[in-house]
Amino acid sequence: MHYENNGAYTGEVSPAMVAELCEYVILGHSERRLHFGETNQAVNKKVEAALRVNLSPIICIGETANERSSNQANDIIASQLSGALTGVEDAKSIVIAYEPVWAIGSGAPATPELANEILQGPVRETLRKIFGGQDAERIPLLYGGSVGRDSISGFLSQPSINGALIGGASLKADDFAEIVHIAAKSKHE
């Protein structure tokens, strides 16, 4: 989604058009950051645009393997989140998806414990600084990055993980249906 409602932006979709068909929009995905040079500031403009047309932004954040191995993950995640939410005052329709870049498409997701640690640590802490305690606690936190039918239960069993953002596995109907079934079952347990 582009941040302008109209204009000559070939290859982009206006917020108003997305809002006609969807309730949610994924913003800040690592592929957009890598291949299209999206910055935290560009993601922020898109978050604001989404909120203006009553879309719920799913804001993706995550570190590369090099950033993780050099102990920069927490700082990178806090920076991405702070940048995406600069000036945003209302947290009610925001969703955050932690997608470590090193796990996306690798078939090797982060461990559920690591994902939980990131979400309850730097992610919640940054959200508390931006929105205050109660509003920050209401924001749903998702894990994404090579989530499949064999790993979904482990992620959903973690206290700070409210759901999952499914990528490649959503392209295989049987796998995705099983993931949905497992997730629905875990919500009722």
Domain locations in the chain?
15-188
**Cα 76 from Cα 30, distance rounded (Å):** 12
**Residue 123: helix, strand or coil by DSSP?**
helix
Give pLDDT, residue 76: 97
Q: Is the pTM of this model over 0.85?
A: yes
- Which is the catalytic residue, given 29, 38, 63, 67? 29
- Which is the catalytic residue, given 23, 38, 99, 117? 99
Q: Which residue has the tokens 């109660």?
A: 134
Q: Is 99 a catalytic residue?
A: yes
**Residue 87: helix, strand or coil by DSSP?**
coil
Q: Is 178 a catalytic residue?
A: no
Q: Which residue numbers in the chain have pLDDT < 50?
A: none
The angle, 0 to 180 degrees and rounded to 10, between the axes of the packed helices 40-52 and 73-84 is: 40
User: CATH second-level architecture of 15-188?
Assistant: Alpha-Beta Barrel (3.20)
**Residue 165: helix, strand or coil by DSSP?**
strand
Residue 100, burial from CB neighbour count under 10 angstroms (0-12, 13-18, 19+): buried
Give pLDDT, residue 10: 81
Question: Over the Cα atoms of the chain, what is R_g?
Answer: 16
